Amino acid sequence: MKKIIIISVFLAGFFSSCATTDNGDVISGPVYKKPGSYNFVLSVQDTNIQNPSNDRRCYYKIYIDKIDSGRTAIGLESQTKTFNTALSVNKHLIEIEKYILDEEQGKYVKVNNIYQPKPSYTYFDVMEDKIVKITVLQDTAKNKAQIIVDYEKD
Amino acid sequence: MKKYILLIIMIMFASCKKSYIAEIEPNNDFSSATPAELNREVRGYLDSASDTDFYQLISSEDTLVSLELSAVKGVNHSVEVFFDDGGQVRPVKLIDDVRKSSAEKMPNLFLQSGRYYFKISYGDRDDAEGNKDAYYVLKLTSGEYISSEKEGNDDFNSATAIEQGETFSGYYYPAFNKLNRRKDSELKEEDYYAVQVDCSAENPVLLDVSVTGVENVDSVLNLYDPFQVLIATANNNGSGQGENFSDIGLTKPGKYYVSVSSVNFEVNFDVKYQIQMMVKPYDTSIEMESNNDYQRANRIIDNVINGKIFPAGDSDFFEINSGGSDGMFRIEVIPPVGMDIKLELLDESGETLAEADNFKDGEKEIFPNFYSESRFYLKVTSSGSYADAEMGYAVSVNESKKDPTEEIEPNDSVSSANKVKTRIIKGYISSNNDKDYFLIDPGSRVKVKFSVSGIDGTEFDFSISDSLGYAIKTETINGTDVKVIEEMIDSRGYIVIESKGDVSNFPYSIEIGD
């Protein structure tokens, strides 16, 4: 008897975690945003900036599959700068280059290779029904980048 | 018979007078002045340190007289001339060259009918010492008055009247006018001339004045209006050379005065200068001096005007008015050979809007596309010490309707950027440092394609900038290159064209697409 009760409790718990819709479909885990005009988003941010005088206007130039594909929006290094586009369903390579504003010259100049994000690239897969989101966090103190590949959630 | 001989002897004595007039002492003041005559020598002595000798002359008609007081060894003397003006005795001239043992002369002394006094005394230099042994000779020689200055024409009231177009003569003599105590010309010997001018603001005239050069004399001319206000000075040439005014615009009727003098008290008793004043009708196609600031600018009528840079440092201002709703101006100025012309455009308050100084001597300067809906001014100058009284420059102004695709100068900064409203925009490299800004404002982040066409014979940089005007991408466009450039615009950005080569009369163009 005890065995039956235990098994019954286990089964009740198991089935209650499997919610059903009116249609009888099973929903589990996070819901991903479906692609619209774009299926790829890049978001770049510099972190660990201690002093506003070191927080400069900048953008990141983007190469997808070794082709100049544009750039992120312009913002302070501490701000999140984004870029989005539509890519084919495939594996892709993304590389980024950082440009900062040189006020003396009156233009944006490419940052010295020493201070470019490392790593500055990653491979990723574009799927049919999801928006790839790549987040790059460049730690300016350690001069090291963290690249996170995920999918945009709803 | 004896009676007849006695009669003859008496007649001979009566007709035998001296060839000179001897002073009759005491003649130390006006009331005791010794009578003198024209064309007869007067002899006298300054026989003590305090001696002064007065002579009087009755002039029966207007006469030009050459006065000469001979030198007396060791004596610095002077001659002062007075006129009895209805009981008031006033000084006319003081002649003193401030030199010992030197004669005094006055070649063009004018005597009107009336009584004159001549006072012989010691000059200012050195202590007076009498000389009982050597006499002086005072000579007043009459001559025919023909187109000559009438000394003492030393101020406005005594100016010699001349007819316009006539040539008059005068002397740079004496060196000093000790009666001249005016602050701006103290002790200067100046000859004043006056010409009557009939004109008005509605019917102005132009005045030319010229004075010939005289050896060893560096001359200066001053021109005064009927209110005796100085309106122009000519002192552009050196010793021995003439001076002139050219195309001076006159709008107030009345007597205009010119003073002629030497710069540094130089003299020349032997050679006359010639002076002439010419009044010309005002031609609206010729500048009217003085137009040396924007408040006195000449209006440009009929799109064309000619001017001269004279003397060196001259600035000529012209007023340009928009005819209505057109407002797009092309302004060209062609200089003569040797003139490096410089142009400026100014607004109604005299602030500079644009400048053009891109080409060399003898080459024209242009504002190809200046837009204005209100009055503005063109300033014409020359670099260096250029001046030419004969050869002038030519200004032409053409107004047309504003082309919506064309840039509107000035657009040389973010704040004055032209907003892009058409798919095609055109502009000009109109100066060596020209920079043209165009604002692109799509409202959202978009990628834009630019097709840029260059200009034959020159090059420029094409840049896309962020919303603050900082360049993100730059391409050099050389000659007739056509380049296609794509760039993201973050809601708002600028196209910046920066000159890297020569100025051109032809436009660049930019086609803008998604």
Looking at the structure, tell me whether residues B308 and B197 fall in a common domain: no
Per-residue pLDDT at A21 exceeds 70: no
Looking at the structure, tell me whether residues B307 and B277 fall in a common domain: no
* Lowest-confidence region among A90-104, B13-27, B115-129: B13-27
Token reading at A80: 């999140």
**Average predicted confidence (pLDDT) for chain A:** 87
- Taking CB atoms and an 8 Å cutoff, what residues of chain B touch A74? 466-467, 472, 490
- Taking CB atoms and an 8 Å cutoff, what residues of chain B touch A98? none
Among B472, B473, B496, most A C-beta atoms within 10 A, so best to mutate, is B472
CATH code: domain of residue B62: 2.60.120.380
| Confidence band, pLDDT 50/70/90 cuts, at residue A38 | very high
Per-residue pLDDT at B324 exceeds 80: no
- Taking CB atoms and an 8 Å cutoff, what residues of chain B touch A108? 466, 470-472
Fold classification of A29-151 is Immunoglobulin-like (2.60.40)
| Confidence band, pLDDT 50/70/90 cuts, at residue A28 | low
B346 inside 8 A of chain A by CB: no
HEC-encoded secondary structure of chain A: CHHHHHHHHHHHHHHHCCCECCCCCECCCCCECCCCCCCEEEEEEEECCCCHHHCCEEEEEEEECCEEEEECCCEECCCCEEEEECCCCCEEEEEEEEEEEECCCCEEEECCHHHCCCCCEEEEECCCCCCEEEEEEEECCCCEEEEEEEECEC
What is the pLDDT at residue B17? 53
What is the pLDDT at residue B82? 95
- Taking CB atoms and an 8 Å cutoff, what residues of chain A touch B447? 70
Q: Quick one: average pLDDT of B269-279?
A: 93
User: Inter-chain contact A108–B447, Cβ cutoff 8 Å?
Assistant: no
| Confidence band, pLDDT 50/70/90 cuts, at residue B484 | very high
Higher pLDDT, B489 or B97: B489
Q: What is the largest CA-CA distance in chain A?
A: 85
Of A74, A107, A108, the CB nearest to B490: A74
A56 inside 8 A of chain B by CB: no
Size of interface A-B (CB pairs under 8 A): 30
Q: Quick one: average pLDDT of B260-279?
A: 92
User: Inter-chain contact A107–B472, Cβ cutoff 8 Å?
Assistant: yes
Per-residue pLDDT at A14 exceeds 70: no
Out of B281, B315, B340, pick the residue that ends a domain.
B281
% of chain A residues with pLDDT over 90: 73
Looking at the structure, tell me whether residues B272 and B300 fall in a common domain: no
Of A70, A73, A108, the CB nearest to B470: A108
What is the pLDDT at residue B289? 85
Q: Quick one: average pLDDT of B254-282?
A: 93
Among A74, A81, A99, A103, most B C-beta atoms within 10 A, so best to mutate, is A74
How many other C-beta atoms lie within 10 A of the C-beta of residue B73?
9
Token reading at B32: 């005791």
- Taking CB atoms and an 8 Å cutoff, what residues of chain B touch A107? 463, 465, 470-472, 474
Q: Is residue B60 part of a domain?
A: yes
Instruction: Please say whether the beta carbons of B259 and B170 come within 8 A.
Output: no
Looking at the structure, tell me whether residues B349 and B441 fall in a common domain: no
Of A57, A70, A106, the CB nearest to B488: A70
User: Inter-chain contact B470–A70, Cβ cutoff 8 Å?
Assistant: no
Q: Is residue B73 part of a domain?
A: yes
Q: Is residue B302 part of a domain?
A: yes
% of chain B residues with pLDDT over 90: 58
Token reading at B128: 């007076």
User: Inter-chain contact A74–B466, Cβ cutoff 8 Å?
Assistant: yes
Interface of A with B in 69-88 (CB under 8 A): 70-71, 73-74
- Taking CB atoms and an 8 Å cutoff, what residues of chain A touch B467? 74
* Lowest-confidence region among A125-129, B18-22, B53-57, B68-72: B18-22
B156 inside 8 A of chain A by CB: no
Q: Quick one: average pLDDT of A123-148?
A: 94
User: Inter-chain contact A74–B471, Cβ cutoff 8 Å?
Assistant: no
Say what the ipTM of the complex is. Answer: 0.79
- Taking CB atoms and an 8 Å cutoff, what residues of chain B touch A106? 469-471
Please state, in angstroms and rounded to a whole number, the distance separating the CA atoms of residues B387 and B373.
34
Nearest chain A residue (CA) to B466: A74
| Confidence band, pLDDT 50/70/90 cuts, at residue A111 | very high
Of A70, A101, A107, the CB nearest to B447: A70
Chain B closest CA to A61's CA: distance in Å? 11
Tokens 């020598």 locate to: B41
Looking at the structure, tell me whether residues B395 and B470 fall in a common domain: no
Looking at the structure, tell me whether residues B166 and B234 fall in a common domain: yes
Interval B341-388: pLDDT, tens: 999 999 999 999 888 998 889 999 998 888 888 899 999 999 888 888
Looking at the structure, tell me whether residues B211 and B120 fall in a common domain: no
| Confidence band, pLDDT 50/70/90 cuts, at residue B152 | confident
* pTM metric for this prediction: 0.62
Please state, in angstroms and rounded to a whole number, the distance separating the CA atoms of residues B297 and B319.
6
Q: Parallel, antiparallel, or unpaired for β B53-59 and B34-35?
A: parallel
3-state SS, residue B442: coil
Per-residue pLDDT at A97 exceeds 70: yes
Looking at the structure, tell me whether residues B432 and B347 fall in a common domain: no
| Confidence band, pLDDT 50/70/90 cuts, at residue B15 | very low
What is the pLDDT at residue A19? 44
DSSP summary character for residue B155: S
3-state SS, residue B227: coil
Give the structural domain span for B199.
Answer: 160-281
Please state, in angstroms and rounded to a whole number, the distance separating the CA atoms of residues B511 and B448.
10
Out of B112, B143, B174, pick the residue that ends a domain.
B143
Looking at the structure, tell me whether residues B15 and B115 fall in a common domain: yes
* Count of domains forming chain B: 4
User: Inter-chain contact B470–A59, Cβ cutoff 8 Å?
Assistant: no
Q: Quick one: average pLDDT of B27-32?
A: 91
Chain B closest CA to A103's CA: distance in Å? 8
Out of B257, B281, B305, pick the residue that ends a domain.
B281
**Average predicted confidence (pLDDT) for chain B:** 89
Among B437, B476, B488, B494, most A C-beta atoms within 10 A, so best to mutate, is B488
| Confidence band, pLDDT 50/70/90 cuts, at residue B124 | confident
User: Inter-chain contact B488–A71, Cβ cutoff 8 Å?
Assistant: yes
Q: Quick one: average pLDDT of B468-491?
A: 95
% of chain B residues with pLDDT over 70: 96
Nearest chain B residue (CA) to A73: B490
A104 inside 8 A of chain B by CB: no
User: Inter-chain contact A108–B474, Cβ cutoff 8 Å?
Assistant: no
Show the beta-strand stretches assigned E in B429-469.
Answer: 435-440, 445-453, 459-465
What is the pLDDT at residue B10? 55
Q: Is residue B130 part of a domain?
A: yes
What is the pLDDT at residue B401? 86
Looking at the structure, tell me whether residues B372 and B442 fall in a common domain: no
Looking at the structure, tell me whether residues B98 and B15 fall in a common domain: yes
What is the pLDDT at residue A2? 66
Looking at the structure, tell me whether residues B376 and B445 fall in a common domain: no
Instruction: Please say whether the beta carbons of B84 and B115 come within 8 A.
Output: yes
Residue B105's nearest CA partner among B273, B262, B274, B270 is B270
Buried b / exposed e along B454-490 (16+ C-beta atoms within 10 A): bbeebbbebbbbbbebbbbbebebeeeeeeebebbbb
* Lowest-confidence region among B145-154, B253-262, B309-318, B416-425: B145-154
Q: Quick one: average pLDDT of B412-424?
A: 95
| Confidence band, pLDDT 50/70/90 cuts, at residue A35 | very high
Q: Quick one: average pLDDT of B88-96?
A: 89
3-state SS, residue B185: helix
Interface of B with A in 440-479 (CB under 8 A): 445, 447, 463, 465-467, 469-472, 474
